[in-house]
A = this chain, B = another copy of it.
Amino acid sequence: MKIIVYGMGIIGGSIAASLKRKGHPVLGRNRSRAPLDYALQNGMIDDVASDYEGADVVVLALPPSVAGVELDKGKFPDGCIVADVCGVKANLEKTVLSRPRNYRYVGIHPMAGKATTGIRSASDSLFLGANLVIARSASTDESAVITIKSLARDMGFLRVVECSAVEHDRMIALTSQLAHIVSSAYISTEQVEKVGGFTGGSFQDMTRVAPMDDVWAELFLANREALLPEISRLTRRLNEYEEAIRKNDREDVLRLIREGRAFFERICAPDCGVFTEKS
């Protein structure tokens, strides 16, 4: 099975490296040369590809706008499996389904990352124990999904979830996009310059993903419909806390605290797979 990964950033590099570690032959493709040299020197890829010739599987580890163009115009071999790794799925799926394709599309979203980006942050262990979401439609090829799931296990993913692109986008608004916005908003105050010595784990956790890459702007805007209600929902809840504290209403503050605790406990069940997995 010949695998070509287009895009040698942290995700593309980690996909290549973790597949190569399991013995798969992997070629890397990239617009600029330097990341390819780094990937070659560090044993993340076997060789460099300048097109998709002979590929059985192509992984597009590119920003959504670039991946969209590639899915629409790319010259893939007949029957080739093409997977993008973008964080928003409905728009890309629409592009793919807009006309018949000679390739088999499977949208995947690896739920792992680091605060840093680029090939130097890539690693063959980035996905160990992590979640992978597969976004699929009625027209998705079943055997392509089976191949992708098998590769996902080889990459180290612990859990693979399948859902529609729309469901993916709705869930991701809550589990990932909102978290990045909150983290960024939280840290954006002059006061943070003085926090040294006053922080415990909660501040670090709250602000860890604040240094977002610019590509997140694209992801937020592509998922506006699902993301906006989540931001509103959170600010309404913060307003409830604010009101209860302003009124010195101990019972109401306690209600909010206890409701939050109850929600947390619901997702701590051993079979829920949130806090038992890699975090």
Whose C-beta in chain B lies nearest to the C-beta of A131? Answer: B197
Contact with B along A180-215 (1 / 0, CB 8 A): 111111111101111111111111111111111010
Contact surface of A with B, Cβ cutoff 8 Å: 111-113, 130-131, 133, 159-161, 168, 171-172, 174-176, 178-189, 191-212, 214, 216-218, 220-221, 224, 227-228, 231-235, 237-242, 245-246, 248, 250, 253-254, 256-261, 263-267, 271-275, 277-279
Task: Indicate if the CB atoms of A179 and B195 lie closer than 8 Å.
Answer: no
Which B residues are CB-close (under 8 A) to A227?
245
Which B residues are CB-close (under 8 A) to A235?
235, 238-239, 242
Task: Indicate if the CB atoms of B250 and A198 lie closer than 8 Å.
Answer: no
Number of copies: 2
Task: Indicate if the CB atoms of A199 and B257 lie closer than 8 Å.
Answer: no
Task: Indicate if the CB atoms of A257 and B212 lie closer than 8 Å.
Answer: yes
Which B residues are CB-close (under 8 A) to A175?
195, 198-200, 202-203
- 7 closest cross-chain pairs (CB), A and B: A184-B260, A161-B197, A204-B279, A111-B200, A185-B237, A179-B202, A205-B205
Which B residues are CB-close (under 8 A) to A131?
197-200
Which B residues are CB-close (under 8 A) to A237?
185-186, 188
Which B residues are CB-close (under 8 A) to A253?
217, 220-221
Whose C-beta in chain B lies nearest to the C-beta of A252? Answer: B217
A171 with B189: in contact, given A202-B180, A211-B264, A242-B228 (CB under 8 Å)? no
